[in-house]
């Protein structure tokens, strides 16, 4: 990766973190790759450079209620004062198509992150050769679902957690349908699940179709 291209990649990462304070590393990676400006290697190089230069922090707390699919504490990323100052000074160097996409997508990101934080899907060994799966769904401060299951193997436990996170509305309505034997809910569940597979970009906007040409000047 050329130095000027690496500099733009760093600015994009800083922009995303500024838009989503305390974004998880997993979320940051996905959103950065969605810009189509960088591949994973480019992201990893820029991310490590930002950490080394103390422009971002990346920490995890044992008491963080949010966990990854394996039940481990998530890594959260934030800007340092230095990183914020660099972004404010050089933000205009981000190519216009990418800058436009980032500005439009940031609102959708915030909505999606809020929804993701309302869902929990964890699994762990139960010490008896099986796995315990904990599923949760909240609406504000109201707990809608708090479900614990014993699952025979890890593969099935992972599949359940993944499906719970991908189709939260369908799963919730499906539970109500099964427990209440209400046919209307079953129909709504099928419709919701069918429409959930329509591919969309993060904000419903057209993403840049190709990687913009990086500037010639080194920025960072």
Pair (13, 86) in one structural domain: yes
Pair (81, 19) in one structural domain: yes
Beta strands in the chain (DSSP E): 23-24, 56-59, 76-79, 119-125, 131-139, 142-151
Q: Is 124 domain-assigned?
A: yes
What is the chain's pLDDT, residue by residue, as a tens digit (220 residues)? 688 999 999 999 999 999 988 888 988 998 899 999 999 999 999 999 999 999 999 998 776 766 666 667 788 999 999 999 999 999 999 999 998 989 888 777 766 666 555 778 889 999 999 999 999 887 656 778 889 999 999 999 999 998 888 777 777 778 877 887 655 444 443 434 444 433 334 333 344 443 443 443 444 4
Give the CB-side neighbour count of residue 30, counting CA atoms within 13 A.
Answer: 10
Tell me which residue range forms the domain holding 64. Answer: 3-116
Pair (153, 57) in one structural domain: no
Pair (128, 108) in one structural domain: no
Query: CA–CA separation, 123 vs 29, rounded Å?
Result: 23
Domain boundary among 74, 95, 116: 116
Number of separate domains in the chain: 2
CA triplet 54, 55, 58: central angle to 5 degrees? 75
Assess contact for 36 and 211: CB atoms under 8 A: yes
Query: CA–CA separation, 53 vs 200, rounded Å?
Result: 35
Pair (21, 109) in one structural domain: yes
User: Tell me, what CATH number does 27's domain have?
Assistant: 1.10.10.10
- Threshold 0.75, pTM exceeds: no
């Amino acid at each position: 990766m050329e130095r000027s291209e690496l500099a733009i990649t760093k600015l994009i990462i800083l922009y995303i973190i500024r838009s989503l304070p305390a974004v998880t590393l997993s979320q940051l990676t996905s959103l950065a790759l969605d810009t189509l400006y960088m591949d994973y290697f480019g992201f990893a190089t820029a991310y490590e450079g930002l950490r080394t230069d103390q422009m971002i922090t990346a920490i995890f707390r044992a008491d963080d209620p949010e966990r990854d699919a394996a039940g481990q504490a998530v890594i959260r990323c934030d800007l340092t004062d230095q990183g914020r100052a660099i972004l404010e000074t050089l933000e205009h160097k981000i190519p216009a198509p990418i800058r436009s996409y980032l500005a439009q997508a940031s609102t959708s990101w915030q909505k999606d992150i809020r929804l993701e934080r309302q869902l929990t899907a964890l699994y762990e060994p139960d010490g008896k050769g099986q796995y315990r799966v904990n599923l949760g769904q909240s609406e504000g401060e109201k707990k809608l679902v708090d479900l614990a299951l014993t699952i025979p193997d890890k593969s099935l436990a992972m599949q359940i957690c993944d499906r719970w996170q991908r189709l939260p509305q369908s799963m919730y309505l499906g539970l109500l349908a099964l427990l209440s034997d209400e046919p209307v809910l079953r129909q709504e569940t099928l419709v919701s699940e069918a429409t959930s597979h329509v591919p969309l970009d993060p904000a419903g906007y057209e993403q840049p179709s190709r990687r913009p040409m990086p500037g010639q000047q080194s920025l960072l």
